[in-house]
Structure formats: C-alpha cells, structure tokens
C-alpha cells in the first residue's frame, strides 16, 4: 500500500458495474450448487469493494477541499450513480435472500446478515432511484453551504469549525461576540437551509409513500439497519432519559455556572467549563498525532499495531482549512483494508477527541480487517459508536500527554460534557420523529418544535433573545439531521454503553478493556442486545438501566 496522498484514483465504470451486477444476479439465480452460488457471491463482493474504495477516495478528497473542481464533479457523479447501485444491490439481495442454498449461506454469513438483507430489500426499489438522486443532491447542497461559510470576526474570516476557538474562549465578551457572528451567518442563510430541508422532508416522505409506508420514519429505521429494535424501544429510552438524565444534566449546568462565576448561564456559556478557559491540547497538530502514537503503543499490542499502520500510510487528514468540509469521521477503503480519519483540528480539546473517538472507530475497523466475510463488518451505528465513545474513556490515563497539568480539568470537562450530551441527542431524535410525522410543517413551525423541545431537554438554556437561536434555529447547525436522518440517537445509546465501560474500568481496567476488545472483534456477527450481554453491558432499553447508571455517575461528579 502507498501513502494515502499517493493512492491512485480512477472513476469507476458505472455502466460496466451495472451490467456486471445484473449478470451476476442472474448467475446466482441459475446456480446449481452452493459452490457455484458462493463463487458468484465472492465476485459480487470483489466488485463492490473496488467500487467502494474508489468512491471513498473521491469522497475524502472532495471533503478535504470542497472547492476542488475535479473532485466536486466526482462527488456529483457518485450522488447520481449511488442510488442506481443501491437498486442493483437490492435486486441481487432479493435473489440471495430466497436462494435454495440459504442454510449454507447463513452458516457462512450469519443470521444478522440475512436480517439486514431483509431490511435493505424493504427499504429500496428501482422506482425511487430518481428521488434518491435528488436527496443526495440536496445533502451535498447543505454540506457545501456549511463548508463554505465565511464568518467575519475581529478583522479575519473563519469557517464554522475554526470559530470554536472563540466560542469557547475564557473571555465572556469574546465568546458572546463569536456566537453573535455565527448567529448572523445563519440568519443570512436560514432561508436557504429552510428551502433545502423543505425539499428533503418532502423527498423522503415521497420515497416512503412510494415504498408503501405511511411516513418516512419506518423507512429511516430500516435504512439505519435497526435489525433488532424499533421505535417503541427508542421512545421508552427517551422517556427514561427525561426522567433521570435531564435532572442530572441540570445539576451539572448549575455546578458549571458556579465554577465559571456567572450570575446566569447564557447560550454563549454553554461550552465553557472553567474560568481560565477549557483545557487545550499542548503542542502542534503533528505533536498531538505523535503523542497519540505513543499512547496507543502503550495501551495494548493491538492498538500499537493499529496506530503504527495509520501513521505509516498517512491515514489522517486533520488540519482545519477554510475550504474543508465541517466535522469529522472515520471511513474505510476495503481494497486496501485501511481505515481513514478525517477531521478539523481547531486548537480545542476536540482535537484530542479525534485521536480518541475517531481512532476508536478506526481501531475496530483495523482489528477486523482480515475477516474474509465483509458482511461481518456491516455494523449498526449504535454499536459502532460504542467503539469510539468507549475509547475516549479507555485513554483517560494518557491525557497528561495532551493537556499537561490540566489533565484533571479535561477529565471533569469530558465526563460532564458526555452526560450533558445525552439529553441533547435525544432531543435531536425526537425532533426528527415529530418532523417526519408532520411533513407539511412550515419552516416556522419546525423551529417552534425545536424551541419547545429545548424547554424539556435543556431547561437551563437561555438564548438571551438572540434573533436566530432564540427562535428555534439551532438545529440547522446539526448536519446529521440533513445528511444522516435518525442517526443521532445511536450516539446516545452508545454513550450509555461507553459510560458503563467507564464505571467498570474504574474498578477493573484490564477486564473492561478485554471485553471492549471482544466487542470490537464481534463486530456485526451478533444482534445488538445479545452482543451487549456477551461483553457484560446492560441494554439501554432495559427499564432501570438509565437510573442505575445515573446513580453511579452522580458519585463521580
């Protein structure tokens, strides 16, 4: 393998792939023996992995510079062909799902793969290809709008990510003015965002109705591959969060108010934890990466092998730049068996969260990279996020490398922030349920829904009459709502599991880490709740799980 920057890229032959998909689907239908059928499946796997690898390379390079004309056109190309490939894949899965060799396939692929296959079949059809292409285009419009934001502040221009250094400043006046600058930007584009979201909601609703569903919610659950739980369990989970986590978060906000010495918390105080400012990483981005390499070399033999591979092949792009896409993620290039981490360093503790959170994702991809059955790695997101969020806690013992004598402040901030996040994540989820149950809402009505939900989930919040945020506009900053609908609750479910690991590691670190490593290796070979039980975790859906966890966390804060 070459370093990422030197990897070749060539646009896939979409017509050739479509033709081959159809031929292989027919060959599977005609197979006379399991051996013939398995040979076809391996050819489909190889073809899919090649197409995915080329797509991922183009996707990363587009996100690195959203103004690059070549990769911008490649992004448009994949927006158009991806739904066609999904249609081909669905037709293939229909034949595989009904194969007379089902027992032999299930023995190799596992029952989870076939349940996921069933959901994939029920969630896509050739008749919605055009709508799916339009949805992709709308998502790209939102991404580009946010990525190309230019926010004037104190004589310079910054993107949203680079503004974080000011919104978390220890100087209250600086962060107040920074949030005002962000508010002004969103006020200037809120009409455009409303237009994009109007069309997104209408589009997704149309897809659902074409597929025979009342609204988009059941279709979204299937597309999120929720193969072992449903809406009722999620609603029960949110109820428990309202009862137990919201009061705990409110206590934390009051402690934080006293700690930073303000009479009342305003929205521009929301991300600040100490009077001398939040702890910031010491050293340059390269020094942070080097410290991360030292940390993972010391943590375990498995993490040592992982981080050396990532560094050797430059599988990070983490520097914040003005034309770079917002946010961070881990993705995977199957032909190279290589994870890749994309992020925007901005001089805050979030830079270290990249080294822990995104590396947690990448580590899991790395330890399962040699599994010959790719279906074993088709992880549902509530499981994938346990890998990342738990790694944030397992690396606590090395935070001195990143924060020096402020490591204890980092522990306090990180744990409190993790707890505060749980109600917010549930709010994002409930918001989307309401929106897609009522797809004809106006932009003003949607903002009012958000405004009312904030009273339930974040009762401490005071927007100080800000003309954008006080009117229910904050959700327009949350990219998942646009790009990955109904994803956000997965972070919350995973947080509950990661916090359970935190409680356990404080009593038995090595035992907890061994179970974490086991969870990573299990990947997608088990259904969600049985897998949690296998590694000693309680299901977040169980009545009493949240209450028990909150009682443990109260001791720690």
Q: Is residue 304 part of a domain?
A: yes
* Chain mean position to CA 179: 24
* Block mean pLDDT (10 aa), the chain, length 557: 96 97 98 98 97 98 95 95 94 97 97 95 95 96 92 94 92 97 97 98 98 98 95 97 97 96 95 94 95 98 98 95 88 98 92 96 97 94 97 98 97 96 98 98 98 97 96 96 96 98 97 98 96 97 96 92
DSSP letters spanning 167-215: HT-SSHHHHHHHHHHHHHHHHHHHHHHHHHHHHHHHHHHHHHHHTT-SS
Q: Is residue 409 part of a domain?
A: yes
* Chain mean position to CA 374: 20
Give the helix ranges, DSSP H, for 438-525: 443-457, 479-483, 489-505, 509-522
Q: Is residue 251 part of a domain?
A: no
pLDDT score at 147: 87
Q: Is residue 556 part of a domain?
A: no
The upper half-sphere exposure of residue 439, i.e. CA atoms within 13 Å in the direction of its Cβ, equals: 16
How many other C-beta atoms lie within 10 A of the C-beta of residue 19? 12
Domain termination residue (choose one: 134, 157, 184): 134
Q: Residue 345's closest CA among 364, 362, 358, 360?
A: 358
Q: Is residue 53 part of a domain?
A: yes
Query: With 0-12 CB in 10 A as exposed, 13-18 as middle and 19+ as buried, what is 312?
Result: exposed
Q: Summarize pLDDT for 196-223 with one digit per residue, the tens.
A: 999 999 999 999 999 999 999 999 999 9
Query: With 0-12 CB in 10 A as exposed, 13-18 as middle and 19+ as buried, what is 405?
Result: exposed
Domain termination residue (choose one: 83, 100, 134): 134
How many Å apart are CA 534 and CA 30, to the nearest integer?
A: 40
Q: Is residue 306 part of a domain?
A: yes
Domain termination residue (choose one: 117, 134, 151): 134
The total domain count for the chain is 2
How many Å apart are CA 450 and CA 430, to the nearest integer?
A: 9
Q: Is residue 231 part of a domain?
A: no
Residue for token pair 């028990």 = 548
pLDDT score at 327: 84
Q: Is residue 252 part of a domain?
A: no
Residue 188 · residue 182 · CB < 8 Å: no
Q: Residue 51's closest CA among 82, 24, 94, 91?
A: 82
How far is residue 353 from each of residues 280, 304, 335, 350, 396, measured CA to CA in Å?
A: 11, 18, 28, 5, 11
pLDDT score at 183: 97
DSSP letters spanning 335-398: TTTEEEEEEEE-SSTHHHHIIIIIHHHHHHHHHTTT-S-GGGG---HHHHHHHHHHHHHHTGGG
Sequence-separated (6 or more) residues with CB below 8 Å from residue 424: 457, 458
Q: Residue 329's closest CA among 384, 394, 397?
A: 384
pLDDT score at 346: 86
Domain span at 87: 4-134
pLDDT score at 320: 84
């Amino acid at each position: 393998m070459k370093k990422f920057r030197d990897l070749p890229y060539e646009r896939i032959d979409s017509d050739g792939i479509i033709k081959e998909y159809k031929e292989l689907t027919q060959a599977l239908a005609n197979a006379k023996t399991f051996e013939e059928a398995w040979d076809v499946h391996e050819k489909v796997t190889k073809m899919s992995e090649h197409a995915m690898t080329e797509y991922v390379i183009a996707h990363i390079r587009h996100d690195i510079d959203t103004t690059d004309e070549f990769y911008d056109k490649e992004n448009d190309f994949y927006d158009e062909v991806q739904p066609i490939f999904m249609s081909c894949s669905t037709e293939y899965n229909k034949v595989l799902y009904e194969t007379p060799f089902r027992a032999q396939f299930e023995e190799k692929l596992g029952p989870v793969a076939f349940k996921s296959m069933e959901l994939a079949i029920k969630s896509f059809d050739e008749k919605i290809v055009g709508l799916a292409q339009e949805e992709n285009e709308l998502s790209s419009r939102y991404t580009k709008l946010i990525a190309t934001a230019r926010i004037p502040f104190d004589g310079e221009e910054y993107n949203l990510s680079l503004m974080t250094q000011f919104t978390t400043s220890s100087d209250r006046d600086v962060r107040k003015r920074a949030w005002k600058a962000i508010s002004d930007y969103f006020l200037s584009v809120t009409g455009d965002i409303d237009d994009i979201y109007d069309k997104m909601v209408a589009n997704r609703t149309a897809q659902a109705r074409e597929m025979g569903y009342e609204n988009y919610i059941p279709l979204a659950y299937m597309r999120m591959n929720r193969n072992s739980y449903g809406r009722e369990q999620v609603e029960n989970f949110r109820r428990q969060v309202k009862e137990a986590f919201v009061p705990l978060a409110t206590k934390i906000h009051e402690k934080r108010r006293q700690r930073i010495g303000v009479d009342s918390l305003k929205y521009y105080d929301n991300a600040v934890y100490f009077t001398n400012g939040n702890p910031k990483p010491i050293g340059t981005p390269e020094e942070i990466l080097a410290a991360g390499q030292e940390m993972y070399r010391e943590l375990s033999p498995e993490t040592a092998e992982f981080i050396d591979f990532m560094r050797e092949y430059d599988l990070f792009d983490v520097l914040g730049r003005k034309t770079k896409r917002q946010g961070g993620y881990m993705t995977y290039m199957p032909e190279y068996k290589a994870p890749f981490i994309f992020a925007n360093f901005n001089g805050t503790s979030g830079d270290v969260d990249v080294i822990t959170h995104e590396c947690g994702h990448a580590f899991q991809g790395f330890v399962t990279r040699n599994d010959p059955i790719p279906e074993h790695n088709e992880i549902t997101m509530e499981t994938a996020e346990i890998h990342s969020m738990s790694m944030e806690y397992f690396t606590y013992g090395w935070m001195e490398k990143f924060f020096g004598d402020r490591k204890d402040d980092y522990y306090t901030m990180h744990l409190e922030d993790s707890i505060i996040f749980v109600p917010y994540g549930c709010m994002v989820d409930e918001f989307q349920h309401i929106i897609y149950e009522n797809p004809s809402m106006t932009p003003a009505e949607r903002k009012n829904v958000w405004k009312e939900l904030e009273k339930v989930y974040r009762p401490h919040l005071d927007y100080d009459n800000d003309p954008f945020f006080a009117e229910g506009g904050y959700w327009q900053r949350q990219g998942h709502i646009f790009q990955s609908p109904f994803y956000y609750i997965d972070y919350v479910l995973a947080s509950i599991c990661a916090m359970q690991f935190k409680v356990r590691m404080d009593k038995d670190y090595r035992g907890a880490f061994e179970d974490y490593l086991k969870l990573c290796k299990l990947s997608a070979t088990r259904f969600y709740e049985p897998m949690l039980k296998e590694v000693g975790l309680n299901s977040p859906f169980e009545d009493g799980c949240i209450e028990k966890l909150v009682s443990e966390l109260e001791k720690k804060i």
